[in-house]
Amino acid sequence: MTPNGEMARELNLQLLKTRMAFRQAVQRLLRKYEIGMTFEMLQILYQLRTLQGVSQQQLAEATARDKACITSLINNLEKKGWVQRKQSPDDRRARQIFLTDEGVRMSEQTKPLLKEIYDRIGAATPPRQMQECRKQLGKLNAILDGI
């Protein structure tokens, strides 16, 4: 492996570690405030706050999960009464996912937790560094999408 290839490998490893650290921080806050959901459930609720009526495929893309995982998550969220599936008016075979009133309430309950995490990151990281990091990660995603 070339020196640049080795650095790219280390960068990827750091990205994976950062994702795991973020997931664990969210899980700790969910437990601390006794909110009975997983990180993955929170991701779905967060997406549905702004994407009401989307398909499972759209949720899979928005949360970087596969369709089988999304199906399981939606089933669990439906059992809790936080989401519901409705038949699409355009395609009888397709289902759209919506937050229920209880799902909206749970989603609102988690907002301060995410705000706490993002505010701590924002306080410790200068805006210019965050912008540059976003730019570089966008380039990395473009490279990986092209492979």
What average pLDDT score do residues 9-36 get?
93
How many Å apart are CA 129 and CA 124, to the nearest integer?
A: 10
How many Å apart are CA 77 and CA 42, to the nearest integer?
A: 10
How many Å apart are CA 29 and CA 49, to the nearest integer?
A: 20
What pLDDT does residue 94 have? Answer: 79
* Structural domain boundaries in the chain: 37-145
Per-chain mean pLDDT for the chain: 92
Task: Tell me: pLDDT of 124 over 90.
Answer: yes
CATH numeric code, 37-145: 1.10.10.10
What pLDDT does residue 31 have? Answer: 93
CA angle 18, 132, 66 (to 5 degrees): 45
Task: Tell me: pLDDT of 123 over 90.
Answer: yes
What average pLDDT score do residues 10-37 get?
93
Q: Is the Cα torsion angle 29, 35, 38, 40 positive or negative in sign? A: negative
How sure is the predictor about 25, in pLDDT bands with cuts at 50, 70 and 90? very high
What average pLDDT score do residues 69-91 get?
91
What average pLDDT score do residues 21-27 get?
94
CA distances from 133 to 81, 126, 129, 139 (A): 38, 11, 6, 10
